[in-house]
Structures are given as structure tokens and as C-alpha cells.
Amino acid sequence: MIKPLSAFICICSVMLAISNPTNAQPTVEEPFAITPTSTTKSEAAHAISLKLAKTITVDFDRTPLVEALQHIAKTCDVNMNINWVSIAENGFDENLPISFKTSSIMASYTLDMVLKMASTNNQQDPLAYDIDGTCVFVSTQREILRKGQTIRVYEILDLLDRALQTEPADKEARKNARDQRLQEILELIRTQTGKQTYWVEFGGEAAYVQSYGTKLIVTAHSRIQKQVHKLLNELKNPGLMTRSQPPQAPYPIASKLEKIISVDFQKTKIKTALEEFAQKIDGRFNILWPELQSVGVEPNTPISLSIDKAQAGEILNLILQKASENNPLDPLSFEVTPFAFEVATKRYIRASYAYLASYDVRDLILAHTGCGKEQAEITIDPQAVKSLLTLIRNSFWQPQWVEYGGKQSSIRELNGLLLLRAHASVHQKVTKLLEALRQRPQPSTKKANVNKAPTASES
């Protein structure tokens, strides 16, 4: 069980205007690489990346997984090294049938979708790929992350030293405060970058972070290293992380949902209804049937819906609502991906497409103490933090929160920042909620008259 972090007594950036009068944005320097990639490997990897960026057409109809992967490798003219031993040990069958049809989309996306479909029943350690030297390496995600580990060193002296006006004067107290900040940063990295199960401290073997003086030494795959670097930058300069939209959004395909269409489904199979809908908007669907079947929705589940001239996005939501009538706790949902609309359960979508963003809430949780000639102290009000976190968790679909036993969203406070890992729809709602909390009441335009007795109508 992860212990909740105590709020930092010191808040990053509170004294930014004093310590950085030029208002230049502080950033974490590029980490020192202990295990750099050779130039030859980098050039080979770049060449493979270009091949995977080409568009291809596939028509897999219950095609065995091994044949689907071989087709992609041959079409892209790349070498593919598949670790079938590790894959089989994790319960995957090379003959697992894959059904996926699309045209003129990037090979990398096609490969991602094939591996994602094959991993529907194994989300703890799904299949993944990496560019390893001169080939595309396919295995389980844990194996990919272990095999591609690098070591990076991050300097965090300024994060440890940044303080409020009330920096402890006692040397021992300063050391304790710094140690406390260091432990909170370490725990933050382990819980907010990659998956917790990757980290050695949580029983994993794909990532490890330790400290030496004012430096962090991180052993992890480059994908996790990028997340660590971004997180440390955010702690130095709140506002760098994306807010209500993930970094890659919106995708052009989303505009298809703005079309005005009509539908008339009378006890139509959900599979047929989605196919007809896709034709009307000239779009593609990736339907994760194992996820749908886990909540009782089969391809032949009938729906009835008749809508005349409405936005396609609204109609799609209604179609999925109809199919979910017998399962209100985990209804069907969809996500816009680069080349298709992905349909699965709400829990799956929320968990798969969650991302981390921070929100500066110092104005909502700081307490000022001291008055008169006494120097005012600025501290975080623990009760204000608790109230704000509880408000957010209780306002938006409680089953999603890790703190309530869910697996889709988590939120915590650190350094005067709210760190929220959630789906874009949750980020949008939290953004609006914080805006509403900051609204100040408008002064009344009526003049008070304390001497005038109220009339009958007024009373």
C-alpha cells in the first residue's frame, strides 16, 4: 500500500519572481547518459523508423498472429525478431486470430493495433515492440523495457533547495527538510512515470531510481526516461505539462464526428450498426470485442435507435449507451486514435488513454500566518488540500479513482501542484471546476439602507 505523501513545507516556484527576476523558465538539464547509443545503431534505428512511417494496407480476417506480424515485416521490408519463448510463457498463442482491416495508414500504427488486439486479455504485460539495432524486436512489454534499459543521471539540487521565506535556520532542520523533499520526489517518480509495477521498489524489474547526493540515477527504458525528465521539468516550472488535451490531440479523424447524419436501427446487431455508422462518416473502427464481451456485449447484441439529422459524435454515444443498458457500471465508450475510433469499455478507455498533467493550485491551498510587524509565513493548509482532493474525486465518476479502489485515475498534491493522471475528459472537467472555484462573487450594485423599514412586499 502506498503511503500518501505529506505536503511539502516548501513550494516550488513560490519565490520564482525573486530567485529568477528575468522570468526565464527553469528546466532540468539534459541528463548525463551512462549508456549512450552508438552512432551506427542510431542510424539503423532511424532507417527502420522511416520504413514504419510508411502507409500500408492490411486485411486480416482471423489471421494467425504470427502471419500478421510476418506480413507487416515483409510489407515494410524490415527485419523482425520475435521472442516467442517469452510471449508463450505469458500465455500468448502465436496462432491467436487477428481481425483488422484498414488501408493507407502508417505501418507503426498497424503494428501497434495488432499487438494491442492480441493483448486484450493480458493488460498486465501486453505485447509491444521496440527498434533494437537493425530489427524490430517484438516481445512482452516487460521484456522490451528490461532489454532497452539505459542509465541517466539527473541533477535536482535546485529542486531540493527551493524554499519559502520560512526556510529552517537550523542546519539539521534544513537537512531533514531536504531529505523529506528527496523522498517525495523519488516516490513521485515511481508512482507517476511508467507503471508502478515496472519499478523495483514495487516488485518490478524494469526500472530503478536511486539518489546520490543531489543527483538521481535512473535505470530505465528511454520511454520512461523521457517521462522522468518531463516530470522533473514540471516540478521546476509548473505549466509545461499539457492540460485538458493530450499532447497529440486533436487528430484530424475527429472531424468526421461533426458530420450530420441520420440512422434508423431496429433491433440491429451492434456489430452491424457500427459498420453502417462507419460507412456514413467514412471512418474506421477498432472494436475490442473481448473487452465488450467481458461486460456482456456480443457482436449480435441488438439495439434500436432512430435519429434524424444529428451530429455523428452524439449518435455514436447513443449507440454505445443503447448497447450498455444492461451494464451501467462499466458502459461502452470510444477513443479517437490517429486512424480509427477505438471502442471498448469505459474503464479500459480511461485506463489506456490516461496521461499526467499538473495544475497550480497554490492560490486555493496556501495559508498565510502572522500579522502586524511579524513576518507573514506561507504554508500549505493540509485541510484545504484534503478538501480539494475529496471534492474532485467525489465529483467525477468515483469508481475510476485509485484512491477508491479504481485503476483509471489518480490525483495527489505536491509542491502546491495537483498532479492528475486521468483521461482527457477528466482533465477537461477538473480544469472547469478549478476555474469555477476561483470565481469571485460580483459586488452588489444595490445600496444598503439600514434605516429604511422593509415594505410588506419586501418582507
pLDDT tens track for 252-278: 889 999 999 999 999 999 999 999 999
Helices (H), 324-381: 346-352, 362-365
Tell me what pLDDT residue 220 has: 92
Give the CA angle between residues 18, 173, 414 to the nearest 5°: 60
Q: What are all long-range contacts of 38-45, with beta carbons under 8 Å and residues at least 24 apart?
A: 41/133, 44/133, 44/134, 45/131, 45/133
What is this structure's pTM? 0.67
Tell me what pLDDT residue 163 has: 44
Answer whether residue 196 shows pLDDT above 70: yes
Burial of 16 (0-12, 13-18, 19+ CB in 10 A): middle
pLDDT tens track for 60-98: 989 999 999 999 999 999 999 999 999 999 889 999 998
Q: Which residues contact 440 (CB under 8 A, 6 or more apart)?
A: none
Q: Which residue did the predictor score with more confidence, 79 or 160?
A: 79
Q: State the cell numbers at 56.
A: 500500408
Reported as a pLDDT band with limits 50, 70 and 90, residue 321 is very high
Cα gap 6→219, rounded to integer Å:
26
Overall fold of domain 252-351: Phage tail protein beta-alpha-beta fold (3.55.50)
Domain boundaries, the chain: 39-145, 148-237, 252-351, 358-439
Tell me what pLDDT residue 23 has: 43
Cα gap 49→65, rounded to integer Å:
22
221-226 average pLDDT score: 90
Tell me what pLDDT residue 356 has: 80
* Mean pLDDT for the chain overall: 81
333-356 average pLDDT score: 89
Cα gap 238→235, rounded to integer Å:
6
Tell me what pLDDT residue 11 has: 35
Q: Which residue did the predictor score with more confidence, 111 or 177?
A: 111
Answer whether residue 8 shows pLDDT above 80: no
Cα gap 429→409, rounded to integer Å:
13
Overall fold of domain 39-145: Phage tail protein beta-alpha-beta fold (3.55.50)
Reported as a pLDDT band with limits 50, 70 and 90, residue 446 is low
Tell me what pLDDT residue 265 has: 95
Q: Which residue did the predictor score with more confidence, 19 or 357?
A: 357
Tell me what pLDDT residue 449 has: 54
Tell me what pLDDT residue 355 has: 84
Bin 143: left if φ > 0, else alpha if -120 < ψ < 50, else beta: alpha
Q: Which residues contact 9 (CB under 8 A, 6 or more apart)?
A: 164, 166, 177, 180, 379, 380
Reported as a pLDDT band with limits 50, 70 and 90, residue 120 is confident
Tell me what pLDDT residue 453 has: 47
Cα gap 31→37, rounded to integer Å:
14
pLDDT tens track for 379-433: 778 899 999 999 999 998 888 898 888 888 989 887 778 888 899 889 999 999 9
Domains 148-237 and 252-351 share a fold: no
Lowest mean pLDDT among 41-50, 105-114, 223-232: 41-50
Answer whether residue 140 shows pLDDT above 60: yes
201-216 average pLDDT score: 89
Lowest mean pLDDT among 189-193, 222-226, 298-302: 189-193
Overall fold of domain 148-237: Ribosomal Protein S8; Chain: A, domain 1 (3.30.1370)
Tell me what pLDDT residue 39 has: 54
Tell me what pLDDT residue 181 has: 82
The helix/strand/coil state of 111 is helix
